[in-house]
Chains A and B, each alone.
Chain A
């Protein structure tokens, strides 16, 4: 008896409650439009708030501040003093800075292509339909999960350092003595490139997803027409994969420019031996936090941002020529 009378009441209450809340929200945001569209986009913004606060407070504001600081001689303790484009001019006369640009470009130019080729090759292997594919997929993905971590960088130092695994292998196989790849300026950077390539997991997964989208009929038809495996790869697989290649390429270039942790750990923050692992971000960090030149470091950060933006824009511009979207 009571239940039947209460139920509608409850619903009425709920409805008025909701309406009231909506009203309050709309009023407080002083939104004039009462259309369904306006309401739903408002709610969307409200849901966004936590993220938006983070974006504005933790990313946008510091970015604006760093843009300002890049035109000052801020030393982290005293008030910043405006020095115009002094920091930007200084950069191109600073041999350490130029060294860091050289190291970073070498890293990007070697890491990105090798990284993508390795990821694609492994994806092709896994795509063959081996038994227990999901296990292999997981196993090959694991390095990407912790490859950028401090622990792995320390492990790398052990493996490639003097008296480490690689050093011992080279001694036993080829009789080379005291090989120390980490602490030699000629080879240190390459050990870090190997470390980066070893983390092929995430582009591999993306390539794998791309491969699985390629219609089997195309390959079947081509096979019937007598196309060889390599022809099918270059004429069917590769063109249809270009959107995925493009995505991976852009992501890899950006993350390679920003590489930091491995060099920091392997060289104890020095970028050594002999600045051979002085990545751009590492030198930026040293400049700001060890050498008290935060204004200069901010300028370096902005140059990096602009460089990455230009390269990305260039890639997007050329993408119309070589990226094929089948639909």
Chain B
């Protein structure tokens, strides 16, 4: 026992020195007096994806944690979504990834299947991480091949938002919660026609072109047909015909000018919420994860933004599936226990919940859920109502195989090739299947 503490001391000392620059031991005396579990100060690094607004929220949670655990310093290393995954893969390769990393269900396989993530089950068993208030489905959504590799920070569902103010101005009947693809086409077409009547048809459209969005919109489309993007053994779960039908639907809308031309859509893909066509009032409908509703509402102070489900198929199945953001610990972490303590605090502490609220969707813990409910702003409340409403219809979708990034890029490329008119619909579908099959066949 003594020996163990001795080595723990040496390791944490060395790491603390390496990470936090030795000269800064200014407040270690007072911290010792406060008396944490372990006497030496440990620094853990934490990375997540986010913009400055989101970073403020995360930093708030971190400072709460540091108050409660004076012996643990958390070094924040946020990165924008665009650079997050390349930076993380490099850090993992170098063995210097942060101790706690933001994880995503689409990307987790790339790390988990290559054995880069720590199985968190032992920490749950020993009680460091408490998942008692987590519904089983939410816990399970963090498992990869049966190993609990990540813990949900928040659960979200996809939907379509529409600009209610704009719909009123244009005199178009707004969409309903359980609308169908036919409704979607009719609504978007009506918005476009109203824009044309106002003389704004040139650079205003009904809806965004989602043909390149393999996740989540195409996944919904497939699930409604009783299929999935991927099978549980990591193959494509749909046929070329499915993809051709998908491309054909959007091609018609594009031809009619209901969705923007390929170049305009490309220009506004991947920009911040306030710079989107939707926020600029140039399209009436767009797809978002529900937890981003308040970002759009904040970016559009003069408009009322509302959320409805992803369009459904008439007499089809439920497309809904659980999405979310997660926390994980890489195997390279020198302080897995402290990292696990941090994750536990993040998901269970009431103070943390009150700060974090719905940043990444509804909290995994039902207890935190009920604590924060009264504290939410109106857009956040409708976010939460939407998520709990859709969760009832949802199941988990099979996780993508490794190489997800490339598959998603190939999908977008095929959709764009069709949108730019470079290839026919069947050629585009053919191209995607060839690329992915050669990738997965390796």
Contact partner, A182, options B202, B267, B270, Cβ 8 Å:
B267
B116 within 8 A of A: yes
Q: Which residue of A lies closest to B92 (CB)?
A: A77
In the bound complex, do residue B416 and residue A291 qualify as a contact, i.e. CB atoms below 8 Å apart?
A: no
In the bound complex, do residue B116 and residue A77 qualify as a contact, i.e. CB atoms below 8 Å apart?
A: yes
B405 within 8 A of A: yes
Interface residues of B in 115-145 (CB under 8 A from A): 115-116
The 10 closest A-B pairs by CB, nearest first: A76-B93, A183-B263, A180-B263, A77-B114, A289-B86, A183-B266, A183-B267, A77-B116, A291-B406, A290-B405
A184 and B417 alpha carbons, distance in the complex (Å): 11
Contact partner, B420, options A76, A274, A285, A290, Cβ 8 Å:
A274
In the bound complex, do residue B86 and residue A273 qualify as a contact, i.e. CB atoms below 8 Å apart?
A: no
Q: Which residue of B lies closest to A73 (CB)?
A: B442
A124 and B186 alpha carbons, distance in the complex (Å): 63
Q: Which one of A26-34, A253-261, A264-272 is at the interface?
A: A264-272
B413, chain A: closest CB distance, angstroms: 6
**Please, what's the 1-or-0 string for B253-269, where 1 marks a CB less than 8 Å from any CB in chain A?**
00000000111101101
Instruction: Given contact pairs A76-B93, A95-B435, A272-B266, enumerate 19 new A-B contacts (beta carbons under 8 Å).
Output: A77-B92, A77-B114, A77-B115, A78-B115, A162-B263, A162-B267, A178-B263, A180-B264, A182-B267, A183-B264, A269-B86, A270-B412, A274-B413, A274-B420, A285-B86, A289-B86, A291-B406, A292-B402, A294-B93
A7, chain B: closest CB distance, angstroms: 43
B90 within 8 A of A: yes
B111 within 8 A of A: yes
In the bound complex, do residue B422 and residue A274 qualify as a contact, i.e. CB atoms below 8 Å apart?
A: yes
**Please, what's the 1-or-0 string for B90-102, where 1 marks a CB less than 8 Å from any CB in chain A?**
1011000000000
A183 and B86 alpha carbons, distance in the complex (Å): 24
B49, chain A: closest CB distance, angstroms: 14
11 contacts between A and B (CB under 8 A): A76-B90, A77-B115, A95-B435, A162-B263, A184-B420, A185-B420, A268-B270, A269-B82, A273-B420, A290-B85, A292-B402
Q: Count of chain B residues with Cβ under 8 Å from any Cβ of A?
A: 34
Interface residues of B in 402-438 (CB under 8 A from A): 402-403, 405-406, 409, 412-413, 416-417, 420, 422, 435
Contact partner, A275, options B92, B116, B267, B413, Cβ 8 Å:
B413
B241 within 8 A of A: no
In the bound complex, do residue A290 and residue B406 qualify as a contact, i.e. CB atoms below 8 Å apart?
A: yes
Chain B residues in 8 Å Cβ range of A95: 435
Q: Which A residues contact B (CB, under 8 angstroms)?
A: 75-78, 95, 161-163, 177-178, 180, 182-185, 268-270, 272-275, 285-286, 289-292, 294
Given A180-B263, A274-B422, CB of A291 within 8 Å of CB of B114 = no
Chain B residues in 8 Å Cβ range of A286: 409
A205 and B107 alpha carbons, distance in the complex (Å): 48
B89 within 8 A of A: yes
Chain A residues in 8 Å Cβ range of B114: 75, 77-78, 292
Contact partner, A272, options B89, B116, B264, B413, Cβ 8 Å:
B413
Chain B residues in 8 Å Cβ range of A75: 114
Q: Which residue of B lies closest to A74 (CB)?
A: B93
A184 and B405 alpha carbons, distance in the complex (Å): 23
In the bound complex, do residue B111 and residue A77 qualify as a contact, i.e. CB atoms below 8 Å apart?
A: yes
Given A76-B92, A185-B420, CB of A292 within 8 Å of CB of B202 = no
Chain A residues in 8 Å Cβ range of B82: 268-269
B179, chain A: closest CB distance, angstroms: 30
Given A185-B422, A290-B405, A290-B406, CB of A161 within 8 Å of CB of B267 = yes
Chain B residues in 8 Å Cβ range of A269: 82, 86
Q: Which residue of A lies closest to B85 (CB)?
A: A290
Chain B residues in 8 Å Cβ range of A178: 202-203, 261, 263-264
